[in-house]
Amino acid sequence: MALPLVYNLESVRARWTSTVVAVLGIAGSVGVFVAMLALAKGFQAALVSAGSEENAMVRRAGATSEMDSAITIEQLDVIEEAGEVQRAAGGAMVSPEVVVVAALPLKKSGTDANVQVRGVTLRALEVHDKVKIVEGRFFTPGLLELVVGKNAKDAYRGVAVGDGVKLGGAVWAVVGSFDAGGSAFDSEIWCDANLLNSTYQRPAGIHQSVTARLSSPGALEGLQRRFAADPRMRVRVERETEYYLKASQMMTTFIRVLGSLVALVMALGAVFAALNTMYSAVAERSREIATIRALGFGAGAVIVSFVIEAMLVAGVGGVIGCLAALPLNGLVTQTMNFQTFSHLSFAFRVTPAVMGMGLLFGLFMGLVGGLPPAIRAARLPVAEALRDL
């Protein structure tokens, strides 16, 4: 027969100070655990959401990122003529892009940070269809004009619409800003590809990557086969989402490793706290437990009851931890993207899955912290404990 839950609730209430300490310990660990997961998740989401399942990205074979890739004008022609690429009015849905890095002062500290500058054509808005102009207008090809992503606009000084920005020895006019739905593009500045090439004294006609809209999401393999058979195309073709997933890997691993390390150490501390609380509960209640046993409740019922009590404490701690981490959701923070050496803004993402993992983590701590004291409680010699009365 099982002990009623009210018994546990009452006993938790009777020793509320040590319960509060145990709850806080577990809440702290769960909060940090959730915050770290949300950070890693947010970083990944910012990069991955930049990509589209329907787009293929073409880079030079062997290039590690867009920064060190190159696609010649001849190769661009081949890509534009490929049958797997979707066509629209005025030609193929292909966006050749140039990527450089410029140093601009951060609003926050005044020190320079690297902002990624992407040279594109008018096609870019059609191929990257999540990117929308929200203020002003898109740049005019052939003019020294640029548009800024919404996170870049918030992060750097002097890039508001109407400002002039010095990039690579020329002054560019900011004519608009765009929203890319929180993706990595939001940390970028876009302008005319050919002008960017010439102001950065790069060889004309060389792009760094080409993004092509596929005629169907399944057309990627056909495109890969076509280019593999073409001796002119020493390129790597990837789905755009895959490229960005890989690009985020190093940083997310880094956050995850350090974050789990910290959370694990904290969990150990919280388990100690839970153990201490439960052990002193058992010690203080030895007479009570003996009475329960004398009434006819079995050892199993006592173990279950104590474990439930520990889990109750842990569950409350877990919920508080998750709730404490919840306000982080959507908070925009910045870090360096090591793959491109540029500064990237992203938002914490406290998803239900992340919170679920945090809660499980808390309950697990309760189990580990509650089981040994529960076993001790069940093993108390009934007669001796009652004699203490």
Residues in contact with another protein by the rule CB under 8 A: 17-18, 21-22, 24-25, 28-29, 31-32, 35, 39, 60, 62-65, 67-68, 100-103, 106, 109, 111-114, 167-169, 200-201, 246, 249-250, 253-255, 257-258, 261-262, 265-266, 268-269, 272-273, 275-276, 279-280, 333-336, 338, 341, 343
How far apart (Å, rounded) are the C-alpha atoms in residues 312 and 12? 9
Please, what is the minimum distance in Å from the beta carbon of residue 295 to another protein? Answer: 27
Which residue's CB is nearer to another protein, number 32 or number 120?
32
Q: With respect to another protein, which residue has the nearer C-beta, 127 or 266?
A: 266
Taking the least distance from each CB to another protein, the nearer of 34 and 78 is 34
Are the C-beta atoms of 314 and 21 separated by less than 8 Å?
no
Q: Which is nearer to another protein, 130 or 246 (CB)?
A: 246
**Is residue 40 within 8 Å of residue 225, measured between CB atoms?**
no
**Which C-beta is closer to another protein: that of 60 or that of 130?**
60
User: Which residue number, 109 or 296, has a Cβ lying nearer to another protein?
Assistant: 109
Q: Which is nearer to another protein, 170 or 228 (CB)?
A: 170
Residue 56: is it exposed, middle or buried by C-beta count within 10 angstroms (0-12/13-18/19+)?
buried
Nearer to another protein, 53 or 112 (CB): 112
- Least distance to another protein, CB of residue 254, Å: 5
CB of 156 to another protein, least distance (A): 12
Torsion, Cα of 166, 167, 170, 171 (10° steps): -40
Q: Quick one: 217 or 381, whose CB is closer to another protein?
A: 381
Q: What is the largest CA-CA distance in the chain?
A: 96
Torsion sign (Cα): 363, 366, 368, 374: negative
Shortest distance (Å) from residue 284 CB to another protein: 9
Q: Whole-angstrom Cα distance, residue 160 to residue 383?
A: 80
Counting Cβ atoms within 10 Å, is residue 146 exposed (0-12), middle (13-18) or buried (19+)?
buried
Least distance CB 296 / another protein (angstroms): 29
Q: How far is the CB of 261 from another protein (least distance, A)?
A: 6
Instruction: Give the nearest distance from C-beta 273 to another protein in angstroms.
Output: 4
- CB nearer another protein, residue 125 or residue 347: 347
Distances (CA, A) of 268 to 3, 135, 371: 29, 51, 15
In whole angstroms, the minimum distance from the beta carbon of 122 to another protein comes to 25
Closest CB 212 distance from another protein, rounded Å: 22
What is the nearest approach in angstroms of another protein to the Cβ of residue 196? 11
Q: Which amino acid makes up residue 308?
A: I
Instruction: Tell me how far apart the alpha carbons of residues 157 and 107 are, in angstroms, rounded to a whole number.
Output: 5
